[in-house]
Amino acid sequence: MKVENFSKHVGKQRRPVSEAPKWFQVRSTLNEAFPSPFRTEGPDPLMLGMNQALSLLNGLKPEPGGAAHIGSASMHPSYEQAAHAQLGQTGLPLSQVVSQSAQLFEGMPHWNHPLTMPNVIPPANLAGIISAMMTQVFSPNIIEGEYSWNVENSELESAAMLSHLIGWPHPSNLDATEGSAPGGLYTFGGSGCYFYAMKYALTRVLGAESRHKGIRTDAKILVSYQGHYAKENSSDWTGLGMDNVVQIRTDPVTNVMDLRHLEEVMRTFHDAQVPIAAVVCTMGTTDAFAVDDVKAVRGLVEKYPNPAPFGKTFIYCDAVIGWSWLTFGSYDFKANPLGFTPLVLEQARKNYEAVQHMKEADAVGCDFHKVGWSPYNCSIIVMRDFTQFQVLMRRGGSAYLQARTQYNPGLYTLEVSRTGAYSMAGWATLKFLGREGFQSILGGVLEVQEALRELLANHPELVCVNNADTGFVTLFRAYPAGVNAQQQYARELTEPQALEELKAHNALQERIADTLWQWFRDGQQHEGAYAPYISYTSGFRPTDYNPDMTVDGAVIYALKAFPMNLNVGLESMQTLLKLVLAARDEVAKEGKLNKPKRRTERRAVLTRGTVEDLVSGVTRRTHQG
């Protein structure tokens, strides 16, 4: 544009905008489409827009005591029209875009509702939400210090807080001769952390030149059957190949990695001179909260070193579910200052003791958007020797980026631009909750869960099937009226001649879950209450006589309650059981059990992609490895 042209419209003797060319007129209105560059005298337009947005969102919440949906429960997911979307000729006014945005949330499950408990999905805390939103205004990019200034400290300080919790030595307490220091990177979810860890492991074991020549050696990744399917994502996407994942057996009751089998596999590879890139310890499986013994794994890695010239086997703790139990590290379990009931105190101690040896690992993945009550995405991988990672993964600089500060993670991260939203959310959450906040929330979920388990124990037709698990999941089965659930379940669990009864009652759990899902979807009251939003698992463990999963159908189905939000209380659990029993009676009334669905039909349902389908899909994958 010519200077002369432009000054006609902005200079001192400015002409009316109406006389300017169209582009200038449109652009002038769009000036208001951005936050003002300077402090405003009146109310900030962004604040006004946010006000509108937040009051719309508040209006979408149910009336007190309403159903567990955001907005109208009759709004179901429907994707048929999406392909017709086209860019408009002119833009819409801000208020209209904001209100259309709000409409997209309509009908969605409400994670913060007292009746919502389907999976490890927490509502986000205020400090996490607000701090993440703040980054949208000034757009810090944590690719490097120059573009994010002290916002980088949210990543650096989060990594420091977590590596202190893990118990890794820090530069101040390091031997002066040692060049390593812990550190960490925020990334896209627990699967991103896993991916980082596998890339780091492959580079350390196969050598930095594998980054140039490609991965040409079938190094192995050892992880339990119960380990998350992110093992497939990362072995696939790193180019190692999914066939190089070697699954280790788990204990059929505790779901923990079988160390004898692990040793057998490690010895075999050792004798065959095949390098092991990584052993993955799952520090809390998604449902059973099974925690692998990382200290013992460290012992085995030292005992069976990789053959020369390969580097040392990497130990990764997939702690996305378990990491926050580390906050109990300083808890005085004897004095019990937070006053947990004895049973919960024991469970909390057990959970802390299960994760306390993560200092033996080379890296630990933590999800704040799971047991950290932060907004999506918010995950960090912390590494014991971050210096080593930085050296191994470093790329040459770029012509358009200069190292203007000491901290330039863009030189070795997978991502180029990285949002400040996740690092701010995680950091703000750590500041906001503190140890005591985490302890109270974690212990509080267990207290609520114990209330549920007590209600189950007192009802003859219901039985809890995972009493020994100390995580957040309660799995339970409902039996037909008049059946003693305890006795019947014991028979089905142990006696091969009860297989047909087991299958029929497995089908009953599935029908109850489907009925509750229908009731949740219709948003109506049933038996005077709104339906809880829960989930179910089609096989969380085999029967006692089927440890190798060779007997078709000899697995335990169960209804699943995963109470993640702080509004779930005793009353929620009473409603849950009331409606489970009502659903059971409904199933009996309709005789639905006489027409069992075929497996193929269920698969067809699964591909439809509703939230519940995804949830039960994850459950199924998790339990079948």
User: For residues 425 and 131, is the Cβ–Cβ distance under 8 A?
Assistant: yes
Q: In what order do the strands lie in the sheet with 276-282?
A: 183-187, 379-383, 363-367, 314-318, 276-282, 220-224, 245-248
Nearer to ligand PLP by Cβ, of 250 and 572: the residue is 250
d(CA 55, CA 605): 36
Nearer to ligand PLP by Cβ, of 258 and 318: the residue is 318
CB of 406 to ligand PLP, least distance (A): 30
CB of 289 to ligand PLP, least distance (A): 10
User: For residues 539 and 552, is the Cβ–Cβ distance under 8 A?
Assistant: no
CB of 66 to ligand PLP, least distance (A): 29
Nearer to ligand PLP by Cβ, of 103 and 233: the residue is 233
Q: Which one of the spans 146-154, 183-191, 260-268, 607-615 is the region binding ligand PLP (CB under 6 A)? A: 183-191
Nearest to 365 by CA among 226, 227, 255: 227
d(CA 405, CA 141): 14
Give the distance, in angstroms, between the CA of residue 232 and the centroid of all CA atoms in the same chain.
17
User: For residues 186 and 380, is the Cβ–Cβ distance under 8 A?
Assistant: yes
Nearer to ligand PLP by Cβ, of 258 and 292: the residue is 292
CB of 348 to ligand PLP, least distance (A): 20
CB of 67 to ligand PLP, least distance (A): 27
* Site membership for ligand PLP, residue 354 (CB under 6 A): no
CB of 608 to ligand PLP, least distance (A): 20
CB of 524 to ligand PLP, least distance (A): 32
The DSSP string of 208-219 is TTHHHH---S--
CB of 191 to ligand PLP, least distance (A): 3
Q: DSSP letter for 291, please.
A: B
Residue nearest ligand PLP (C-beta atom): 190
Of 203, 379, 470, 515, which one interacts with ligand PLP (CB under 6 A)? Answer: 379
d(CA 247, CA 321): 20
Nearer to ligand PLP by Cβ, of 147 and 536: the residue is 536
d(CA 49, CA 606): 39
CB of 395 to ligand PLP, least distance (A): 25
* Site membership for ligand PLP, residue 625 (CB under 6 A): no
User: For residues 425 and 378, is the Cβ–Cβ distance under 8 A?
Assistant: yes
Question: How far, CA to CA in Å, does 154 sit from each of 126, 149, 186, 431?
Answer: 17, 10, 10, 10
Q: Which one of the spans 54-62, 261-269, 282-290, 401-409 is the region binding ligand PLP (CB under 6 A)? A: 282-290
CB of 472 to ligand PLP, least distance (A): 11
Of 198, 230, 448, 475, which one interacts with ligand PLP (CB under 6 A)? Answer: 230
Residues 436-495 touching ligand PLP, rule: CB under 6 A, are none
Instruction: Give the x/- contact pattern for ligand PLP in 555-574, rule: CB under 6 A.
Output: --------------------
Nearer to ligand PLP by Cβ, of 76 and 621: the residue is 621
Q: Which one of the spans 170-178, 186-194, 390-398, 594-602 is the region binding ligand PLP (CB under 6 A)? A: 186-194
User: For residues 593 and 587, is the Cβ–Cβ distance under 8 A?
Assistant: yes
d(CA 139, CA 417): 11
Q: In what order do the strands lie in the sheet with 462-464?
A: 462-464, 474-478, 555-561, 535-542
Cβ count near 102 (within 10 Å): 19
Residues 37-76 touching ligand PLP, rule: CB under 6 A, are none
Nearer to ligand PLP by Cβ, of 135 and 187: the residue is 187
Locate 364 and state its tokens. 């630990």
Question: Mapping DSSP to helix (H, G, I), strand (E, B) and coil, where does residue 392 land?
Answer: helix
CA-CA-CA-CA torsion sign (102, 104, 105, 107): positive
d(CA 379, CA 386): 17
Q: Is 343 exposed, middle or buried (0-12, 13-18, 19+ CB in 10 A)?
A: middle
* Site membership for ligand PLP, residue 224 (CB under 6 A): no
Of 71, 122, 189, 532, which one interacts with ligand PLP (CB under 6 A)? Answer: 189
Nearer to ligand PLP by Cβ, of 238 and 286: the residue is 286
User: For residues 469 and 558, is the Cβ–Cβ distance under 8 A?
Assistant: no
d(CA 248, CA 281): 11
d(CA 338, CA 353): 18
Of 152, 155, 360, 367, which one interacts with ligand PLP (CB under 6 A)? Answer: 367
CB of 14 to ligand PLP, least distance (A): 53
Nearer to ligand PLP by Cβ, of 231 and 526: the residue is 231
Instruction: Give the x/- contact pattern for ligand PLP in 291-330, rule: CB under 6 A.
Output: ---------------------------x-xx---------
Of 282, 324, 356, 440, which one interacts with ligand PLP (CB under 6 A)? Answer: 282
CB of 71 to ligand PLP, least distance (A): 25
CB of 459 to ligand PLP, least distance (A): 30
Cβ count near 47 (within 10 Å): 11
CB of 190 to ligand PLP, least distance (A): 2
* Site membership for ligand PLP, residue 228 (CB under 6 A): yes
Nearer to ligand PLP by Cβ, of 162 and 478: the residue is 162
CB of 264 to ligand PLP, least distance (A): 24
User: For residues 558 and 540, is the Cβ–Cβ distance under 8 A?
Assistant: yes
Count of positions on this chain that bind ligand PLP (CB under 6 A)? 13
Residues 250-279 touching ligand PLP, rule: CB under 6 A, are none
How many degrees, rounded to 5, is the angle at CA 518 between CA 517 and CA 519?
90
* Site membership for ligand PLP, residue 190 (CB under 6 A): yes
| Residues making contact with ligand PLP (CB under 6 A) | 189-191, 228, 230, 282, 285-286, 318, 320-321, 367, 379
